[in-house]
């Protein structure tokens, strides 16, 4: 190839490379100055491919911005809604307490007995509402990366005992026995409320999916690390769902059967990680599930 032609080929290859790199060296004026119509066509085609690339990138960028904005708005809304809801729930809780107080003072034993069950049920719904609101707020905090962990000297076994006691009734209603294997105190610096929240969540799941079979909580520890596990003999998690079990809005149980937000394990994972720990599980469909949380005993 004569050197002028070779130089031309080099030049053209550079043009193509510039387009691929997102830059461009072809202009409308340059195209017009071309004598050969075929070359004009090609240069125009290359120029337009470059424009299309830029346009697509701009659109993608705009869409990404819009998406991020929408997600921020959603989390903002969750946070506001959650905080707004807390006020009427507080009022409700206080009024119920007030009602109970008045009843205890003024009501006859017969009236008290007739109303006792209704008061129990009423109080429990307030707890449920509070729980749901707390979940909404947790989600918005986790999404906005605003989870705070505050540690204090505590006994992990004691925290687990509290959670087990709290859920004893619920387990009984589902027909499951709930047992804590007490291996003695497990002291360390823990975020007590977060640990309780995670334990409660895991226990709730065990009760919900436990088929009325026994649930066992175990804890152990060595230098530097403590762990606890919740084991059930329930429906288990299907193999195809296992990889995604900790994801947001993930429901391994069919959505038309179990109501629920699908957030529990996602929240658990984030809280455990915020505490510097790990959460894992083993499960077999139709046999049961065991979740294990490992935490550092001090930061």
Partner 1 sequence: MSVYQDPPGLFAAACTIYLVAGAVCPTVRRVTMSDEAHPSGAPAPADLAELRARVTRIGERLFMLREVPIQTPSTVDAMFDRLVELTAGLDRFAYVVDLSGVVRPDAQTRARLKERILQINDRLAHVGVAVGANAVIRAVARLVAFASGFPSFSFHFSVDEATEACRRALQ
Partner 2 sequence: MTGHILVIDDNDDLRETVQMLLESSGYSVATAANGRAALAHLQGGSRPSLILLDLMMPDMNGWQFLEHARGDASLRSVPILIMTAHQETDGARMPPAEVVPKPFDAATLLAAIGRHVSPI
- The candidate with the shortest Cα–Cα distance to 289, out of 212, 210, 172, 218, is 210
The entry of partner 2, partner 1, none that residue 125 binds, CB within 5 to 8 Å by partner kind? partner 2
The entry of partner 1, partner 2, none that residue 258 binds, CB within 5 to 8 Å by partner kind? partner 2
Phi, psi of 227 (to 5 degrees): -145, 155
Does residue 150 interact with partner 2 by CB under 8 A? Answer: no
For the CA atoms of the chain, what is the radius of gyration? 31
Q: Which residues between 247 and 266 bind partner 2 (CB under 8 A)?
A: 253, 256-259
State how far the Cα of 144 lies from the Cα of 138, in Å rounded to an integer. Answer: 10
Instruction: Name the token pair of 258.
Output: 């179990």
State which residue, 31 or 99, has the beta carbon closest to partner 1. Answer: 31
The entry of partner 2, partner 1, none that residue 103 binds, CB within 5 to 8 Å by partner kind? none
Does residue 179 interact with partner 2 by CB under 8 A? Answer: no
Buried-exposed string 171-195: b where 16+ CB fall within 10 A, e elsewhere: beebebebebeeeeebebebbbebb
Nearest distance in Å: CB 236, partner 2: 14
Q: How many residues line the site for partner 2 (CB under 8 A)?
A: 12
State which residue, 8 or 172, has the beta carbon closest to partner 2. Answer: 172
Nearest distance in Å: CB 257, partner 2: 5
Nearest distance in Å: CB 194, partner 2: 27
Binding interface with partner 1 (CB under 8 A): 1-2, 4-5, 8-9, 11-13, 15, 23-28, 30-45, 47-52, 54-55
Q: State the residues that interact with partner 2 by CB under 8 A.
A: 117-118, 121, 124-125, 173, 208, 253, 256-259
């Amino acid at each position: 190839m004569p050197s002028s032609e070779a130089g031309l080929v080099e030049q053209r290859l550079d043009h193509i490379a510039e387009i691929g790199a997102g830059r461009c060296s072809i202009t409308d004026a340059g195209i017009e100055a071309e004598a050969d119509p075929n070359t004009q066509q090609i240069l125009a085609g290359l120029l337009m491919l470059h424009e299309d690339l830029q346009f697509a990138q701009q659109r993608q960028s705009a869409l990404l911005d819009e998406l991020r904005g929408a997600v921020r708005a959603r989390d903002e809304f969750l946070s506001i809604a959650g905080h707004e809801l807390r006020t009427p729930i507080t009022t409700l809780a206080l009024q119920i307490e007030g009602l109970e107080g008045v009843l205890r003072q003024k009501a006859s034993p017969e009236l008290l007995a007739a109303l006792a069950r209704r008061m129990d049920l009423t109080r429990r719904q307030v707890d449920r509402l509070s729980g749901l609101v707390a979940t909404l707020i947790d989600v918005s905090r986790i999404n906005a990366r605003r989870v705070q962990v505050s540690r204090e000297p505590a006994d992990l076994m004691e925290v687990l005992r509290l959670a087990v006691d709290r859920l004893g009734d619920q387990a009984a209603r589902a027909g499951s026995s709930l047992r804590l294997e007490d291996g003695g105190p497990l002291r360390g610096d823990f975020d007590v409320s977060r640990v309780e929240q995670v334990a409660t969540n895991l226990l709730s799941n065990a009760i919900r999916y436990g088929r009325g079979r026994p649930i066992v909580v175990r804890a152990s520890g060595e230098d530097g690390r403590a762990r606890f596990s919740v084991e059930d003999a329930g429906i288990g998690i299907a193999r195809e769902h296992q990889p995604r079990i900790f994801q947001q809005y993930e429901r391994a149980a069919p959505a038309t059967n179990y109501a629920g937000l699908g957030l529990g394990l996602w929240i658990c994972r984030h809280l455990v990680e915020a505490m510097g720990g790990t959460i894992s599980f083993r499960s077999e469909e139709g046999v049961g599930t065991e979740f294990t949380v490992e935490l550092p005993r001090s930061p």
